[in-house]
Structure 1
């Protein structure tokens, strides 16, 4: 077993990294004029191009809070009864609760959205609470799962989180930056949970998880490239007075997918040696 400081360090870096990225997302997309414009174009594009997706989004989001908690709890408890890792379960639940509470505190008490003349002066909506609920439910299942099945839990959880986040965009509840910020909050608390679990000197995974989810990384990279292209096109359109709302909308969804898949792959890597 590696010394405790070496086992803790990756999670410390993970917590620091998610904090830095979260801060960058907030400062650019909420505090600057251009960031608000880019976010708002994607938001407007979702409204124009939502089509029949609005029915799915509406039903999904209405059921999400209860479904995520109930289904996530049932799956997690079944796993815990088999693996008898109650301590990890308690840590995972505390991390999930902390993620959801901090999301609400950040959104309503800490962060603010200055008026830049871009939107209708809506109050700050970053981070997304529904995204945090979905991601934190996925986090609990991921943490208590057997190391052998954590890659599968990471993939399913990331898809579930993308569905929740994209639905809030289609439903016109949140902008893409809100969704990404919600994922980052949960990822931060997932790293904090990792620090605690690694520090408890629990038995290591034997053997460690071999899957590095490279397919997920490549999908995230492809989505990230498209999101970057869409960002450039949207930025350019603001300079010449044209609108490419579909491109902005697709770019926002791609950024959400890239973030979720990348965080899932990184989380799988960080937890690979923990029981």
Structure 2
């Protein structure tokens, strides 16, 4: 949890409250190709679709783990999604550190939605297939993070903030009621190690791209750096959500 608190807080301080960070992130927006009609999975988010997804995941958790798990995987995502809107609209602020009309978009509501739905699914499915749900979640979060930046819907800090918020919400839930399950995930250890390696390689790639982009003033490369960073965060978050699920009976 401490790691994700640092990711969320650091993203806000460096990307939103810092002049250099604001300029770098606005260059990312400039390099993006904005569209109001993105392809899936980004265009699948709506209040009805999220409600249906939570209902389905809740029913899976009810059948596999019982009532208490079903409540967790439906209530925690709903609270996290509401918190993302509250934080963005009423709590967190984005100062205008240079002349630019820049409304606050931190944290990303879309990224929060996909993160908590991924977490809920990982917690809802039977323990044996939890690793495969984690892999699917890592791919989904990577795709959504990439899209949010590519189509100019959000800044990199917004994406990282949304991922951090969703992961922290389930970490808190785990502190209150650990996600104990009978059985172990098939390939769980290998999946965890593999995701860690890929995630940190992506982090390194993002940092290198950001450094080169800053040195050359290359907005397109800065966009790529943000996308690699978003992919890294999505992969590492999926791994963290897997690790939060205990295999103890």
Residue 86 of structure 2 corresponds to residue 112 of structure 1: no
User: Which of 3, 10, 15 is equivalent to 1:29?
Assistant: 15
Which residue number corresponds to residue 105 of structure 2? 125
Could you tell me which residue of structure 2 aligns to residue 227 of structure 1?
Answer: 206
Deviations 1:135-175 (A, max 9, x none): 11112111111221111111212222222232222332211
- SS of the residue 2:87 aligns to: helix
Quick check: which has more Rg, 1 or 2?
1
Gaps in structure 2 of 5+ consecutive residues: none
Tell me what 2:75 maps to.
94
Residues 84 and 205 (structure 1), Cα distance of their counterparts in 2 relative to 1, 3 Å cut? closer
Q: How does 1:57-76 map to 2 (within 5 A)?
A: 57=38, 60-65=41-46, 66-76=48-58
Please name the residue that 2:62 is paired with: 80
Alpha-carbon separation, structure 1, partners of 2:122 and 2:184: 17
Q: Summarize the Cα distance change of 1:43–1:149 in structure 2 as closer, same or farther, 3 Å threshold.
A: same
Name the Cα RMSD after superposition.
Answer: 2.3
Compared CA separation, residues 84 and 152, structure 1 to 2 (3 A)? same
**Higher mean C-alpha deviation, range 162-171 or range 55-64:** 55-64
Does structure 2 retain, via aligned residues, the 8 Å contact 1:127–1:179? Answer: yes
Provide closer, same or farther for how the CA distance between residues 204 and 150 of structure 1 changes in structure 2, counting only shifts above 3 A.
closer
- 2:121–2:133 CA contact under 8 A, matched in 1: yes
- Structure 1 segments, 4+ long, off by >4 Å, are 207-210
Q: CA deviation at 1:59?
A: 5.7
Equivalent position of 1:273 in the other structure = 247
Give 1:71 shift: 3.7
Give the Cα–Cα distance (whole angstroms) in 2 for the partners of residues 60 and 124 of structure 1. Answer: 24
The answer on whether the counterparts of 2:77 and 2:166 sit within 8 Å (CA) in structure 1 is yes
Aligned residue-pair number: 246
Q: Cα offset for 1:274?
A: 5.0
In the alignment, which of 174, 184, 187 is matched to residue 167 of structure 2? 187
Q: 1:144 to 1:59 in 2, by over 3 A?
A: closer
1:234: how far off?
2.4
Q: How does 1:96-245 map to 2 (within 5 A)?
A: 96-117=77-98, 120-198=100-178, 204-207=181-184, 211-212=188-189, 213=191, 214-237=193-216, 243-245=217-219
| SS of 1:36 mapped into structure 2 | helix
